[in-house]
Amino acid sequence: MQAVAQVVDFSDGSSREHADEGTTVRAAVRGDRRAFETLYRRHVGRVHGLCLRLTGHRETAEDCVQDTFVNAWRALPAFESRSSFPTWLHRIAVNTVLAGRRGLAQKLETTVDTDLGDLDRRAAEDTPALDVEAAIASLPEGARHVLVLVGLYGFSHDEAARHLGVAVGTSKAHLHRARQLLAARLDLALEAS
């Protein structure tokens, strides 16, 4: 988890970190690749977490991380300095994952068992939280996407619905279904309502 320790959380209100981030982003916008590498080191953990949980597939997630940062580099001239760089970057990551999902669907179908097995092994030898990871990875795609975006990474239903090309109501329904399935797979009892 070395890279996790390098990630700076800019939501903690630290004005100095905000200033550093702003300076680094402006340098990257001007074409400074070293500044962009700094941004990569700072944010790769969050982007990879997002890609990994959206795709449920390790190798695909790595591809998505690479594509996300390459796409971000190309799009940097359009970045508004008043906006939040992490939020902007995460939107690019989601778009990158979703843009590639059709082509990857078959690959994911054939490898999901392997990846779940990998997650199960990690669960046995690592933290209890990985049980939840395995349960998330086993969710149907639509439910998983909404759970990851809304339930984990703080997207609004409006944003998630736009990214996924579904109605807001559908996004809410997916989240409800995801939580039900997750509870069942984590042996959290449901009761009749």
Partner 1 sequence: MNELSPANRTELDLRLAALPLDVAPPRDLWPGIAASIAAAGVRPATARWRRPLALAAGVAITAIAAALGWQAGRQSVTPLAATPVAGTATDRLVQASFAMPEGHEYRATRIALERSYRERLELLAPATRGRIEEDLAAIRQANADIRSALAADPQSAVLNRLLESTWQQEFDLYATVTRNTDPAVPRTRT
**Chain residues in the site for partner 1 (CB under 8 A):** 1-4, 7, 31, 33, 36-37, 40-41, 44-46, 48-50, 52, 58, 61-62, 65-66, 69-70, 73-78, 80, 82-83, 88, 91, 95, 129, 132-133, 151-153, 162-163, 179-180, 182-183, 186, 188-193
SS3 183: helix
Residue closer to partner 1 by CB (options 71, 108) is 71
**Nearest distance, CB of residue 19 and partner 1, angstroms:** 21
**Nearest distance, CB of residue 162 and partner 1, angstroms:** 6
**Nearest distance, CB of residue 187 and partner 1, angstroms:** 10
Q: Which long-range contacts (CB under 8 A, 24 or more apart) does 117-124 make?
A: 118/58
**Nearest distance, CB of residue 87 and partner 1, angstroms:** 9
CA atoms within 13 A on the CB side of 8: 16
Residue closer to partner 1 by CB (options 172, 179) is 179
Residue closer to partner 1 by CB (options 106, 125) is 125
Q: How far is CA 40 from CA 23, 61, 74, 115, 172, in A?
A: 14, 15, 14, 26, 32
- In whole angstroms, give the CA distance from residue 114 to residue 132: 17
SS3 35: helix
